[in-house]
């Protein structure tokens, strides 16, 4: 299932309409759903984003989780309405960074996103500024693979157009103008999630025979295998896995494989 986490109702409305999402009965949040999509309106800021992301993930505990955060953002000189996919997300306060794994080609710009505590109209360097991405990504990563978690930002303000000039109607229009890009990204992520779903419970028999895994280790090894099987890794065979005589070497090998190629959709 694909989960949208959206800060503002104005940002969410074009997505709700385009994907024909219906209001889900919930006392705490505005949540909209279809058969394979759920959207939550989180509210503005890191705390709201983290709580809403976690809440939505736990509401549908059995699904393979794909997360997508979409919202307006600022940049020093990018054109209003430009769409940006985050390849790095930095928290402005702590300076900690997270790294989305872009294993597909969407043919749009990719930038570093800096998540700030308060909106600002002074932009330093070639960075996109928002207020939710870091907390959203950190929360979502507890429930899914980084390949399935992404932030798409729509530029609403820059040095020529201050954020105070942006109305809710403008916000809604900006999202609507990028709905085809959003639709393409959604289709890519749903397709990727289905590939992961096909492999989610498979641990090769040679590993079960040779090692005793704790439940935590089983979870970890499945993470590696999900990613490897979603990549162009035709050379991963059980015979090679049988060559390892200890778990540390095995996990190092799987981690190396999982990072060394890009997805073939």
CATH number at residue 124: 3.40.50.1580
Can you tell me the distance from the alpha carbon of 111 to that of 88, in angstroms, rounded to the nearest whole number?
A: 7
Q: Which residue has the higher pLDDT, 170 or 103?
A: 170
Contact of 80 with 161, CB cutoff 8 Å: yes
Domain co-membership, 79 together with 192: yes
In DSSP terms, which residues pair with 89 in a beta bridge? 98, 113
Q: Is residue 204 part of a domain?
A: yes
| Domain that residue 223 falls in | 200-259
Q: Is residue 165 part of a domain?
A: yes
Domain co-membership, 128 together with 74: yes
Render pLDDT for 102-140 as a digit per residue (tens, 0 to 9): 888 889 999 999 999 988 777 888 999 999 999 999 999
Domain co-membership, 106 together with 184: yes
Domain co-membership, 229 together with 110: no
Tally the domains of the chain: 2
Report pLDDT for 92: 95
Average of per-residue pLDDT across 50-61: 93
Can you tell me the distance from the alpha carbon of 241 to that of 250, in angstroms, rounded to the nearest whole number?
A: 7
Q: Is residue 264 part of a domain?
A: no
Least confident piece of the model among 26-35, 185-194, 224-233, 239-248: 224-233
Q: Is residue 89 part of a domain?
A: yes
Q: How far is C-alpha 185 from the chain's CA centre?
A: 11
Domain co-membership, 72 together with 187: yes
In DSSP terms, which residues pair with 58 in a beta bridge? none
Report pLDDT for 215: 65
Q: Is residue 60 part of a domain?
A: yes
Is the model's pLDDT at 69 over the cut of 90?
yes
Domain co-membership, 77 together with 93: yes
Domain co-membership, 157 together with 242: no
Domain co-membership, 106 together with 214: no
Q: Which residue has the higher pLDDT, 264 or 192?
A: 192
Question: pLDDT band at residue 243, thresholds of 50, 70 and 90?
Answer: confident
Least confident piece of the model among 7-11, 57-61, 227-231: 227-231
Q: Considering the chain, what is the average pLDDT of its residues?
A: 87
* Terminal Cα-to-Cα distance of the chain (whole angstroms): 18
User: pLDDT above 90 covers what percent of the chain?
Assistant: 56
Domain co-membership, 9 together with 61: yes
Q: How many CB atoms lie within 10 A of CB 243?
A: 11
Least confident piece of the model among 69-73, 225-229, 252-256: 225-229
């Amino acid at each position: 299932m694909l989960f949208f986490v959206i800060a503002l109702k104005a940002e969410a409305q074009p997505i709700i309409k385009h994907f024909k999402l219906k209001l889900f009965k919930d006392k705490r949040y505005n949540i909209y759903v279809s058969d394979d999509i759920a959207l939550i309106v989180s509210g503005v800021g890191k705390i709201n984003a983290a709580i809403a992301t976690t809440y939505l993930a736990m509401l549908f505990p059995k699904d393979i989780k794909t997360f997508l955060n979409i919202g307006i953002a600022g940049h020093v000189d990018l054109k209003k309405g430009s769409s940006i996919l985050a390849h790095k997300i930095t928290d402005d306060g702590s300076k900690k960074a997270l790294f989305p794994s872009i294993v597909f080609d969407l043919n749009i710009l990719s930038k570093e996103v800096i998540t700030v505590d308060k909106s600002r109209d002074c932009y330093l360097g070639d960075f996109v500024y928002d207020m939710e991405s870091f907390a959203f990504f950190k929360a979502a990563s507890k429930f899914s693979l980084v390949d399935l978690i992404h932030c798409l930002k729509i530029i609403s303000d820059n040095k020529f157009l201050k954020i105070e000039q942006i109305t809710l109607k403008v916000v809604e229009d900006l999202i609507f103008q990028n709905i085809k890009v959003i639709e393409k990204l959604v289709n890519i992520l749903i397709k990727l999630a289905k590939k992961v779903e096909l492999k989610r419970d498979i641990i090769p028999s040679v590993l079960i025979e040779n090692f005793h895994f704790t439940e935590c280790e089983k979870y970890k090894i499945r993470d590696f295998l999900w990613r490897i099987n979603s990549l162009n890794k035709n050379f991963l065979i059980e015979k090679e896995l049988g060559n390892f005589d200890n778990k540390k070497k095995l996990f190092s090998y799987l981690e190396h494989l999982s990072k060394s190629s890009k997805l073939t959709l």
